[in-house]
Amino acid sequence: MDNRSEVREFLTSRRAKITPQQAGLPAHGNRRVKGLRREEVALLAGVSAEYYARMERGSLSGTSEAVLDSLARALQLDESERAHLIDLARTAGSTRRPVRRRATQPVRPALQQLLDAMTDAPAFIRNGRLDILATNSLGKALYWPVFQDPARPVNLARFQFLNPGAADYMPEVQDQRATAAALLRTEAGRDPYNRELSDLIGELSTQSEDFRTLWAAHNVRLHHAGLKRFHHPAVGDLTLTFEAFPIPTDPGLTLTALSAEPGTPAQDALTLLATWYATLDRDELDTPAPSSPSPVRGTP
């Protein structure tokens, strides 16, 4: 990723989202730009107009933490946007060259044991590229349609944007796509020289108009908790809560666990899902298939 263009487009897009009224500034006369002017951002950040213009042209190398904090306040950045700005500043001026990495880095046996011990909750481990690297049995069952996509490594973003069955499996697929694009943008700021990540972004950009539009928005996100809705081909509709935990001992990896409210249809569906998954033969478990599994008898 080109750090200078990333900085320029990110700052420009954030500046365009704030009106003078939101910033507490008077809005006199005709305004030819959307949002704040550069000199207004400079005033709010307490820096000269020339210094801010240089930053917006992509020059963040050597910018102090105090200036970055002031700029974040001036642009009213949220937690994820502020972290992204700091990541961009950290990598500015770096001379590292892109290095091809293993997209499916191994997950330590102890982490797989932890997943397997979570018998009542679907759980998986992903990397910043949104590859699913490991799951427990219920996680594999819940994300069965994703694993049936023949593309490898198994990747949530690729499935959401490129698989024609994604909209059936994920009723809120547009929200899921927006989240995926924002997470990939966040990871690109954190690790701009990851060739595998760049390859995925290029693949999605060339094949998905939705991705191109969302990517151009330069939105970023920290995704730690919330709701996920599914329409599973075997058990029907589920609404599950999720918690996502970065793994400190394995930087870049995140453990996500999902659960259902006790006594709800979603909990019954998870129980049924576990039963269905246990009936699959070993070949079905390990081999992607072009067709969806048959629904469990008596389910929608």
Q: pLDDT of 186-210, one tens digit each?
A: 999 999 889 999 999 999 999 999 9
Q: pLDDT of 52-84, one tens digit each?
A: 999 999 889 889 999 999 999 999 999 999 999
CATH architecture for segment(s) 3-91: Orthogonal Bundle (1.10)
pLDDT score at 294: 42
Give the span between the Cα atoms of 233 and 237, in whole angstroms. Answer: 9
Would the pLDDT of 291 be above 60?
A: no
pLDDT score at 298: 40
Structure token digits, residue 245? 């935990």
Residue 197: burial class (beta carbons within 10 Å; 0-12, 13-18, 19+)? buried
Residue 193: closest CA among 99, 88, 104: 99
Give the span between the Cα atoms of 59 and 51, in whole angstroms. Answer: 9
Residue 257: in which H helix or E strand, if any?
Answer: strand 254-259
pLDDT score at 247: 95
Structure token digits, residue 262? 């006790």
Give the span between the Cα atoms of 20 and 39, in whole angstroms. Answer: 12
Beta bridge partners of 124: 135, 256
pLDDT score at 207: 97
Give the span between the Cα atoms of 235 and 272, in whole angstroms. Answer: 7
Give the span between the Cα atoms of 132 and 126, in whole angstroms. Answer: 4
Q: Fold for domain 109-286?
A: Beta-Lactamase (3.30.450)
Task: Give the Cβ contact number of residue 126 at 10 Å.
Answer: 21
Q: Is residue 20 within 8 Å of 43, Cβ to Cβ?
A: no
What are the residue ranges spanned by the domains of the chain? 3-91, 109-286
Q: Find tokens 């349609």 and name the residue.
A: 145
Q: What interhelical angle do 173-190 and 79-91 show, nearest 10?
A: 30
Work out the average pLDDT over 137-166.
96
Task: Sort strands 132-135 and 123-126 into parallel, antiparallel or unpaired.
Answer: antiparallel
Give the span between the Cα atoms of 203 and 209, in whole angstroms. Answer: 11
Structure token digits, residue 246? 């970065």
Share of the chain above pLDDT 90, in %: 76
Work out the average pLDDT over 153-158.
97
Give the span between the Cα atoms of 260 and 50, in whole angstroms. Answer: 54
Q: How far apart are the first and last CA of the chain?
A: 45
pLDDT score at 100: 47
DSSP 106-121: PPPHHHHHHHHH--SS
Between vectors from CA 124 to CA 165 and to CA 99, what angle results, nearest 5°?
90
